[in-house]
Amino acid sequence: MMAAEPLTREQVLAAAEEALRRYGPTKMNVVDVAQALGVSHGSVYRHFPTKAALRAAVVRKGLEKKAAQLLPIAEESGPAADRLHRWLLALIEFKQRLAREDPELFGAHAVVDKDDAALVREHVGVLTGQIARILEDGVDSGEFRGSALEGSALAIWHATTRFHHPAHRYEWTDPKIGEDFERVWTLILDGLT
């Protein structure tokens, strides 16, 4: 009789994502994931030492996917202002859509945002690196002032936090949120040019 295929990290992550959706980020537990996979909870613990680590891994996977989707905007050629505007809008649309359409998974993002500072710093570093790439292109082309490179990527991140940070999700239903973003965008652009 052949042994069953070994449980993979990806299988555990997929089951954990579904358990997060079903039970929410605080009620989901390792036993739920193990039952969905038809294995013992010890099999899940071989891949992730704690429930928090499992939840963080699911969120990390989603954040990495989104960063990969944003990267082509950062890497394309063309006017930097247009690329930065589209990049910010894509980030905002992703976060706000996730909050609307997948609230339990979004809740996991909010919990991890509060509990895993290292993951958050890493994610912000990746995304502000993409912003910096667009800013560099804008400076190189003469579209942005040279001083736009000094700390501006992180400043832009902070200036737009209201529109993409989970702590502000209650504001996203405001019918004027898009107008508010465009006003902030105008200030950002004025500061860069």
DSSP output for the chain: -PPPPPPPHHHHHHHHHHHHHHH-TTT--HHHHHHHHTS-HHHHHTT-SSHHHHHHHHHHHHHHHHHHHHHHHHHS-S-HHHHHHHHHHHHHHHHHHHHHH-HHHHHHHHHHHHH-HHHHHHHHHHHHHHHHHHHHHHHHTTSS-GGGGSSHHHHHHHHTHHHH-GGGGGGTT-TTHHHHHHHHHHHHHHHH-
pTM: 0.86
The pLDDT of residue 131: 97
The pLDDT of residue 148: 80
The pLDDT of residue 1: 32
Please identify every stretch of the chain with a pLDDT value under 50, giving residue numbers as ranges. 1-3
Yes or no: say if 55 and 112 are a contact pair by the CB < 8 Å rule: yes
The pLDDT of residue 113: 73
* Domain boundaries along the sequence of the chain: 56-192
- Per-residue b or e along 111-136, where b marks 16 or more CB atoms closer than 10 Å to that residue's CB: bbbeebeebbeebeebbbebbbbbbe
The pLDDT of residue 5: 67
The pLDDT of residue 156: 97
The pLDDT of residue 182: 98
- For domain 56-192, give the CATH number: 1.10.357.10
